[in-house]
């Protein structure tokens, strides 16, 4: 394993323009394209599951993902049982993305793990690192939600459409807005 990949996997600063990481990206491009060409039902269901097993770190039973799906690497994504992911999901998985069981993810949701240098010289040089994103069991992310690097959403929480989640959200709440804020507890 090359140094940049080792640094990325460790959550340290790395340069993504590395031959090994670019090869992983090419693999992901091919698998996402193959998945996105398949239909959601019918004889290609087994093919779709096989592609997801090759693409993702783990995928639970009964997971449904409507194409198109886009990700950075795929192997950092773990999805629990019976989760539904709607159209146009963007999962930038330079770091781990963990999605629990029974999660509902609306269209155009982004789960983002990469973060970049604030200093202009290192940012120009391309340095980045990744912070994990965790989505608890039975969460509902409304359409267009963005979850930022290093953020967790607690189990049984609902995040309203268009919210930008910049900080951890506790279990069992309704959060809305930009930045997302808790507006009430859910019973």
| Active-site annotation, residues | 116
Chain-centroid distance, C-alpha 138: 16
Contact status, residue 80 vs residue 99, Cβ threshold 8 Å: yes
Task: State the SS3 of the chain.
Answer: CCHHHHHHHHCCCECCCCHHHHHHHHHHHHHHHHHHHCCCCHHHHHHHHHHHHHHCCEECCCCEECCCEEECCCCCEEECCCCEECCCEEEECCCCEEECCCCEECCCCEEECEEECCCHHHHHHCCEEECCEEECCCCEECCCCEECCCCEECCCCEECCCCEECCCECCCEEEECCCCEEEEECC
Contact status, residue 173 vs residue 161, Cβ threshold 8 Å: no
């Amino acid at each position: 394993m090359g140094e940049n990949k080792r640094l990325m996997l460790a959550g340290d600063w790395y340069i993504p323009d590395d031959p090994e990481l670019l090869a992983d990206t090419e693999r992901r491009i091919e698998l996402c394209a193959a998945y996105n060409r398949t239909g959601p039902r019918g004889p290609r269901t087994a093919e779709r599951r096989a592609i997801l097993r090759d693409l993702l770190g783990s995928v639970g039973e009964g997971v449904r993902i409507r194409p198109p799906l886009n990700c950075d690497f795929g192997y950092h994504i773990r999805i629990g049982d019976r989760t539904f992911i709607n159209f146009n999901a963007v999962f930038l998985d330079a770091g781990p993305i963990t999605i629990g069981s029974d999660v509902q993810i609306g269209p155009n949701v982004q789960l983002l793990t990469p973060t970049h240098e604030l200093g202009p010289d290192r940012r120009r040089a391309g340095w980045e690192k990744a912070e994990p994103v965790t989505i608890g069991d039975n969460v509902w992310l409304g359409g267009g939600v963005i979850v930022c690097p290093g953020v967790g959403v607690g189990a049984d929480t609902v995040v309203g459409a268009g919210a930008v989640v910049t900080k951890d959200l506790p279990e069992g709440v309704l959060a809305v807005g930009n930045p997302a804020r808790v507006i009430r507890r859910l019973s």
